[in-house]
């Protein structure tokens, strides 16, 4: 029996907390519910859970502040839940270190998939870097900086490769525009999101990805990009 | 019979004005005047007795001012009546106690006793005269009892001073007397009065001249005064009964259509003319007006005469005259024309006491009027010689520097012509030289005015004599025929000068009129272009300072109705005069400088009035603290223009507000019905399904349970959409929609939009297509993606499952075009525009789809991009929605 994952649900609405908890327990997780930011921080300062599901609208604290507080000492994965569907809020939470974001109301399937992706990503981080990313016909050999699609090697410029590498490093998760720009073009270039769109477009072309029917790189309008999660093997 | 009835029916206009007057009276307090022929007849005594009677009846009586003059009977009567403490006023280190009007307005008694209506208040009081206090109190709804002697009535002032030899300075306008609600005549026969005088029962001011007292209290005097008082009271009763008759539809016996015009000048005599006119008008019960002709010469008059004429005109206005200021160079013509055009039947004019010879050369005004008046009666009032002197005073005014310069120019011109003619004498005859001089006179008269041109005439004749006639360089002449030449030359010169000056004056006058018209026109035009109160006020301030100059300030009521200083030119120290501005605002009457209310103020305050309320106050300190009569008129016109502009903007604002409210109301109603339906039906489905699942515990895997759960999921998704659409439209309508425009790749936008509604689209066939080499296009990618999502969702909810939906992106005229079409049932004909309206959900049987907001949101977003969205029916008969975005987007922020 594998070790059960501990999930901390920070949610002040008992009904929502209940059904999230039920869904997680059904899928083999162990969950604990707290209703306030203070409780959340108290628990996180003790034994860390494996993942935190955080509601942004708590009675005592702003969720954004909780993310910042946790990130001050821990890299525990955080998935943010909120009724706020404003893009700025999503981007802010991601920028502050949240790993993913779901807007209420959300589907349970979607939710569980996100939890899985985030945890897998952490696993990989723990078991050291994998040498290659592999999804459908796309293979990125991170050690040799080689990319191939359908077995044929594709030549990428350094910028295109760097862009792809940043996405692959967080495969399955949203990478915000600002983060991509910062990682690829350096600090201070966060404003130039149209560079990003142009390079993503070129990258898609080279990877044989149709922007109308993307298979590899997905656009999250107003937030960032996400490369599809690795094939589960 | 009906005919007779009809004739007897009162004129509706009269009836209406009657009703209005009655209403005004009802709100106003009542004025009761205890009227007597002289001091000592017992007016105060009668007033106090009446006060006691009313107090017994339960009225709240307050004694404002009652002068007992130490008489026992009166003092006794004061007992039992509450007395208002007097206010101390210090003026130039002298402390005086005065009547405290503010306290009365605070206490608000039913009846206030205020002795001596003609009393002049101490300097520094709100009003200079007590009768003005009384007017304000009545306006405020307080009944006032007061006393008045016949000699203090304005119109009888002259008569009485000629009878008694004592002129009275303190006068009360007859209007006040005639409009009083009650006149109580207190009459004591002269013999009795004289007896009381001997007993020391009549108050004589301490220090009064024994002889003049003796003179005044002569039996003949007292008899005349008594007669006047009785007659005046009879007049009052007569006026009152006339009003009664008019109200009942009966003709007044004396209404013969008389109209009196009093012509005044700026001399000291004007006041007497006004009084004469008023007496005549009262006697005839006819309307009267006072005319003053402003000439260009009048412009140059000294401040004293300007102030004087203003005072006279104002006084006439308070006495019920209509005041008319005419402008023109020929006073007589202006007056006659006005009289003819306005149905004047009688003209009152003064005749100056000038010596007879003065009128040989120039007809005086009175004579001119008499000759020209035709069938208009002319009353000529003689000016006493003493007053004439005052009239001529302005002629010895010292010349201004400017004026001196003009005389200098005239002299220079003579010298220049003389010099020129002398140098070229070889070519010219003396006749030509004279001609040259005469040209000069034209120039001088037209350019420099009357005085300098007269000087020119004298100088040129002298110069001609000195330089051009033999013997040269003397004023002697050998040829005596030259004397005739000189005379003719001088007369011609004077005539030309007179004609040219007249022309020049007329021109100046015309220019000034033109200028004024231009000013009003400009202001009106500027005001029409302004929207806010700030802009309007600034425009008016700018115009006033350009035209009249001086310090200007504007006050507007702030929150809580308190007046706040909003604008003031930098130099003014306006805050000190808040009381004056406030009084002006509350009473809707001009106040401050040059008025009867707080005249010691530095500024003249005019209320900015709308149709039925005061909107603010404009204050001005004119240069030299005096207005020309014309300037006051300009000022009034400016302020009234401001008033109507303000009102217009307020009305427009109110209408806009009302429109907005109505629109809000409509949207709210539709929202309520739409939301209640759109929210309730999915909620009902969810509740029903959940209840079924709870009542009969199913295996969650059973088919029924799965179906119920799916329906819950589906309805919840619908609810979500409705709510998010509502939030979105609120965000857009709330003006918080800001475009974040960058170059976007259209296929990426379409792809991400399709991805976002993958769940909704799972039962439809989706086809995404794009032009091969489509470029990046400026847009707010997030919002356009939202538009496409809404269109896709709209397509899925209006077409049956399995329908094909195609999204296609291409270019038109360098712009981007994205279309979303389906092969479903299409849009009902004629609805292509309607569906973009808020809450428009066209009837589709019993299932409404969404709250009808999706397309409205699309519309708002696309218009913010300066683009266009429209719906049409495509070739398959299905719907096609097209978004067109111009590629050169210059996108303003949405307000």
What is the rounded average pLDDT of the residues B747-776? Answer: 87
Residue B398, φ and ψ in degrees, nearest 5 = -65, 150
- Please tell me whether residues A95 and A20 are part of one structural domain: yes
**pLDDT score at B298:** 52
Provide the CATH number for the domain around residue A100.
Answer: 3.40.50.2300
**Average per-residue pLDDT in chain B?**
78
pLDDT band at B356 (very low <50, low <70, confident <90, very high): low
CA nearest to B713 within chain A: A107
What is the rounded average pLDDT of the residues B421-443? Answer: 82
Cβ(B289)–Cβ(B320) under 8 Å?
A: no
Q: For the segment B47-60, what is each residue's pLDDT rounded down to a tens digit?
A: 998 999 998 888 88
Q: For the segment B591-645, what is each residue's pLDDT rounded down to a tens digit?
A: 887 777 777 778 888 888 877 778 888 888 877 766 665 677 778 888 888 888 8
Q: For the segment B252-261, what is each residue's pLDDT rounded down to a tens digit?
A: 444 457 888 9
A128 pLDDT higher than 50? no
Strand order in the sheet with A152-154: A132-135, A138-141, A146-149, A152-154
B768 contact residues in A (CB cutoff 8 A): 212-213
A233 pLDDT higher than 60? no
> Which of B718, B723, B728 minimizes the C-alpha distance to B787?
B728
What is the rounded average pLDDT of the residues B859-883? Answer: 88
**pLDDT score at B881:** 93
B888 pLDDT higher than 80? no
Residue where one domain finishes, among candidates A69, A103, A126? A126
Question: Is A175 within a domain?
Answer: yes
**How many CB atoms within 10 Å of residue A89?**
18
Provide the CATH number for the domain around residue A185.
Answer: 1.10.10.10
Cα–Cα distance measured from residue B786 to residue B861, given in angstroms and rounded to the nearest whole number: 9
CB contacts < 8 A (A, B): 59
A229 pLDDT higher than 70? yes
- Please tell me whether residues A14 and A121 are part of one structural domain: yes
Cα–Cα distance measured from residue B150 to residue A82, given in angstroms and rounded to the nearest whole number: 90
Question: Is A31 within a domain?
Answer: yes
Distance from CA of A210 to the nearest CA of B (A): 8
Question: Is A36 within a domain?
Answer: yes
Q: B602-635 as b/e, with b when 16 or more CB fall inside 10 Å?
A: bbbbbbbbbeeebbbbbbbbbeeebbbbbbbebb
- Please tell me whether residues A18 and A64 are part of one structural domain: yes
Q: For the segment B359-376, what is each residue's pLDDT rounded down to a tens digit?
A: 455 567 788 888 888 888
Tell me the helices (H) and strands (E) count for chain A, helix number first.
8, 12
pLDDT band at B894 (very low <50, low <70, confident <90, very high): very low
Structure-block tokens of residue B342: 């306005």
Angle, to 10 degrees, between the axis of helix B401-423 and the axis of helix B450-468?
Answer: 30
Question: Is A233 within a domain?
Answer: no
Q: For the segment B643-701, what is each residue's pLDDT rounded down to a tens digit?
A: 888 888 888 878 888 877 777 776 667 667 666 777 777 888 888 888 888 877 667 77
Choose between B232 and B383: higher pLDDT.
Answer: B232
B504 pLDDT higher than 90? no
DSSP string for B249-314: TPPPTT-----EEEEE-SSTTHHHHHHHHHHHHHHHT--EEEEEEE-HHHHT--HHHHHHHHHHHH
Three-state DSSP state, B881: strand
**pLDDT score at B883:** 93
CA nearest to B768 within chain A: A212
Choose between B830 and B251: higher pLDDT.
Answer: B830
Out of A107, A194, A213, name the one closest to residue B751 (CB): A213
- Please tell me whether residues A54 and A112 are part of one structural domain: yes
> Which of B29, B45, B32 minimizes the C-alpha distance to B184?
B32
Q: For the segment B98-133, what is each residue's pLDDT rounded down to a tens digit?
A: 888 888 888 888 899 998 888 888 877 888 888 888
Cα B810 to chain centroid, rounded:
62
- Please tell me whether residues A190 and A160 are part of one structural domain: yes
Lowest mean pLDDT among A55-59, A221-225, B160-164, B794-798: B160-164
What is the rounded average pLDDT of the residues A46-50? Answer: 86
Structure-block tokens of residue B319: 């006495």
Distance from CA of A213 to the nearest CA of B (A): 6
- Please tell me whether residues A141 and A76 are part of one structural domain: no
CA distance between the termini of chain A: 19
Q: For the segment B78-90, what is each residue's pLDDT rounded down to a tens digit?
A: 888 888 888 877 7
Contact A211 B743 (CB under 8 A): no
CA nearest to A211 within chain B: B748
- Please tell me whether residues A13 and A107 are part of one structural domain: yes
Flag whether residue A87 sits within 8 Å of chain B, measured between CB atoms. yes
- Please tell me whether residues A34 and A119 are part of one structural domain: yes
What is the rounded average pLDDT of the residues B383-389? Answer: 46
Residue where one domain finishes, among candidates A126, A143, A177? A126
pLDDT band at B750 (very low <50, low <70, confident <90, very high): very high
Out of A105, A197, A222, name the one closest to residue B720 (CB): A105
A214 contact residues in B (CB cutoff 8 A): 751, 755
Question: Is A119 within a domain?
Answer: yes
pLDDT band at A10 (very low <50, low <70, confident <90, very high): very high
Cα–Cα distance measured from residue B506 to residue B519, given in angstroms and rounded to the nearest whole number: 19
Contact A212 B754 (CB under 8 A): yes
- Please tell me whether residues A181 and A86 are part of one structural domain: no
Query: Which positions in chain B have a beta carbon within 8 angstroms of at least one beta carbon in chain A?
Result: 713, 716, 720, 724, 727, 742-745, 747-756, 759, 768-770, 776, 781-782, 785-786
Q: How many domains does chain A have?
A: 2
ipTM: 0.81
Residue where one domain finishes, among candidates A110, A126, A142? A126
B766 contact residues in A (CB cutoff 8 A): none
Out of B724, B742, B752, name the one closest to residue A221 (CB): B752
Question: Is A86 within a domain?
Answer: yes
- Please tell me whether residues A170 and A138 are part of one structural domain: yes
- 3-class SS string, B152-179: HEHHHHHHHHHHHCCCCCCCECHHHHHH
Q: For the segment B456-500, what is each residue's pLDDT rounded down to a tens digit?
A: 888 888 888 888 887 888 888 787 888 888 888 888 888 888 888
- Please tell me whether residues A143 and A122 are part of one structural domain: no
Question: Is A232 within a domain?
Answer: no
What chain B holds in terms of domains, given with CATH numbers, is 12-247 (3.40.50.300), 260-396 (3.40.50.620), 401-509 (no CATH), 530-657 (3.30.450.40), 724-885 (3.30.565.10)
Q: Give the structural domain span for A105.
A: 5-126
**pLDDT score at B805:** 93
- Please tell me whether residues A150 and A103 are part of one structural domain: no
């Amino acid at each position: 029996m594998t070790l059960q994952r501990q999930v901390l649900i920070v949610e002040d609405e008992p009904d929502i907390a209940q059904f999230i908890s039920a869904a997680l327990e059904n899928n083999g997780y162990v969950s604990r519910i707290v209703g306030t930011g203070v409780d959340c921080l108290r628990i996180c300062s003790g034994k860390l859970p494996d993942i935190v599901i955080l509601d942004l609208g708590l009675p005592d604290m702003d969720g954004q502040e909780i993310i910042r507080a946790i990130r001050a000492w821990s890299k525990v994965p955080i998935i943010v839940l909120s009724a706020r569907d404003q893009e700025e809020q999503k981007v802010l939470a991601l920028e502050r270190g949240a790993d993913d974001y779901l807007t209420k109301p959300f589907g349970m399937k979607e939710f569980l998939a996100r939890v899985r992706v985030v945890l897998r990503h952490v696993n990989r981080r723990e078991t050291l870097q994998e040498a290659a990313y592999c999804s459908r016909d796309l293979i990125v050999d991170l050690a040799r900086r080689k990319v191939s699609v359908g077995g044929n090697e594709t030549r990428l410029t350094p910028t295109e490769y760097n862009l792809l590498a940043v996405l692959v490093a967080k495969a399955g998760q949203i990478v915000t525009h600002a983060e991509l720009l910062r990682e690829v073009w350096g600090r201070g270039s966060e404003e130039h999101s149209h560079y990003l769109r142009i390079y993503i477009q070129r990258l898609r072309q080279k990877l044989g990805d149709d922007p109308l029917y993307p298979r590899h790189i997905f656009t999250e309008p107003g937030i960032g990009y996400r490369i599809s999660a690795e094939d589960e093997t | 019979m009906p005919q007779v009835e009809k004739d007897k029916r009162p004129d509706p206009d009269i009836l209406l004005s009657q009703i209005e007057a009655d209403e005004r009276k009802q709100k106003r307090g009542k004025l009761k005047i205890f009227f007597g022929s002289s001091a000592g007849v017992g007016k105060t005594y009668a007033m106090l007795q009446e006060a006691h009677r009313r107090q017994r009846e339960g009225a709240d009586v307050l004694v404002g001012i009652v002068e007992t003059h130490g008489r026992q009977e009166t003092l006794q009567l004061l007992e039992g009546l509450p007395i208002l403490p007097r206010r101390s006023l210090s003026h130039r280190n002298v402390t005086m106690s005065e009547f405290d009007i503010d306290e009365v307005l605070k206490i608000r008694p039913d009846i206030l006793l205020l002795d001596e209506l003609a009393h002049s208040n101490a300097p520094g009081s709100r009003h200079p005269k007590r009768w003005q206090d009384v007017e304000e109190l009545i306006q405020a709804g307080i009944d006032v009892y007061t006393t008045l002697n016949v000699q203090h009535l304005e119109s009888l002032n002259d008569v009485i001073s000629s009878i008694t030899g004592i002129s009275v300075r303190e006068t009360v306008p007859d209007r006040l007397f005639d409009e009083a609600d009650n006149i109580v005549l207190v009459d004591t026969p002269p013999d009795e009065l004289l007896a009381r005088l001997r007993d020391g029962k009549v108050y004589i001011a301490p220090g009064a001249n024994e002889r003049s007292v003796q003179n005044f209290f002569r039996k003949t005097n007292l008899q005349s005064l008594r007669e006047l008082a009785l007659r005046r009271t009879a007049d009052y009763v007569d006026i009152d009964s006339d009003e009664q008759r008019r109200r009942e539809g009966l003709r007044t016996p004396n209404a013969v259509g008389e109209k009196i015009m009093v012509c005044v000048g700026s001399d000291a005599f004007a006041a007497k003319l006004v009084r004469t006119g008023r007496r005549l008008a009262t006697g005839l019960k006819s309307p009267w007006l006072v005319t003053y002709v402003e000439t260009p010469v009048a412009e140059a008059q000294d401040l004293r005469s300007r102030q004087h004429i203003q005072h006279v005109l104002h006084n006439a206005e308070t006495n019920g005259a209509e005041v008319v200021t005419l402008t023109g160079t020929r006073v007589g013509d202006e007056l006659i024309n006005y009289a003819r055009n306005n149905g004047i039947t009688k003209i009152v004019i003064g005749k100056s006491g000038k010596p007879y010879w003065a009128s040989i050369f120039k007809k005086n005004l009175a004579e001119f009027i008499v000759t020209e008046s035709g069938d208009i009666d002319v009353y000529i009032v003689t000016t006493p010689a003493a007053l004439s002197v005052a009239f001529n005073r302005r002629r010895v005014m010292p010349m201004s520097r400017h004026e001196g310069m003009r005389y200098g120019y005239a002299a220079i011109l003579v010298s220049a012509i003389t010099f020129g003619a002398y140098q070229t004498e070889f070519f010219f005859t003396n006749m030509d030289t004279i001609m040259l001089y005469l040209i000069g006179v034209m120039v001088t008269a037209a350019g420099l005015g009357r005085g300098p041109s007269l000087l020119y005439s004298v100088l040129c004749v002298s110069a001609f004599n000195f330089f051009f006639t033999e013997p040269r360089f003397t004023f002697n002449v050998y040829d005596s025929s030259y004397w005739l030449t000189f005379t003719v030359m001088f007369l011609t010169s004077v005539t030309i000068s007179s004609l040219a000056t007249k022309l020049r004056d007329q021109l100046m006058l015309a220019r000034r009129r033109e200028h004024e018209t231009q000013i009003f026109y400009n202001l009106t035009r500027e005001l029409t272009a302004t929207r806010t109160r700030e802009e309007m006020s600034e425009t008016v301030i700018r115009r006033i300072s350009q035209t009249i100059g001086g310090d200007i300030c504007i006050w507007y009521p702030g929150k809580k109705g308190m007046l706040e200083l909003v604008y003031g030119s930098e130099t003014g120290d306006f805050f000190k005069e808040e009381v004056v501005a406030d009084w002006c605002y509350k009473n809707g009457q001009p106040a401050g400088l040059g008025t009867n209310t707080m005249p010691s103020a530095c500024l003249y305050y005019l209320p900015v009035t709308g149709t039925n309320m005061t909107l603010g106050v404009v204050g001005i300190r004119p240069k030299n603290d005096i207005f020309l009569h014309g300037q006051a008129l300009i000022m009034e016109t400016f302020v009234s223009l401001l008033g109507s502009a303000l009102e217009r903007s307020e009305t427009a604002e109110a209408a806009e507000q009302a429109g907005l409210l109505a629109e809000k109301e409509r949207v709210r109603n539709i929202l309520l019905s739409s939301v209640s339906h759109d929210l309730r039906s999915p909620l009902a489905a969810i509740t029903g399904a959940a209840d079924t699942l709870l009542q009969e515990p199913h295996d969650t895997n059973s088919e029924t349970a799965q179906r119920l759960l799916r329906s819950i999921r589906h309805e919840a998704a619908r609810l979500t959409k409705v709510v998010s659409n509502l939030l979105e439209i609120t965000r857009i309508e709330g003006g918080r929609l800001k475009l974040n425009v960058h170059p976007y790749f259209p296929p990426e936008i379409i792809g991400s939009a399709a991805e976002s509604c993958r769940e909704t689209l799972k039962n439809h066939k989706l086809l995404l297509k794009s032009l091969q080499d489509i470029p990046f296009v400026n847009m707010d990618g997030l919002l356009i993606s939202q538009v496409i999502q809404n269109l896709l969702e709209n397509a899925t909810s209006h077409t049956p499952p399995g329908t094909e939906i195609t999204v296609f992106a291409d270019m038109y005229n360098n712009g981007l075009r994205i279309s979303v079409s389906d092969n479903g049932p299409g849009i009902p004909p004629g609805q292509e525009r309607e569906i973009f309206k808020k809450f428009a959900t066209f009837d589709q049987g019993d299932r409404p789809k969404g709250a009808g907001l999706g397309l409205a949101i699309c519309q708002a977003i696309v218009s913010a991009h300066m683009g266009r969205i429209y719906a049409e029916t495509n070739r398959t008969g299905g719907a096609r929605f097209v978004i067109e975005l111009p590629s050169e987007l210059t996108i303003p922020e949405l307000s």
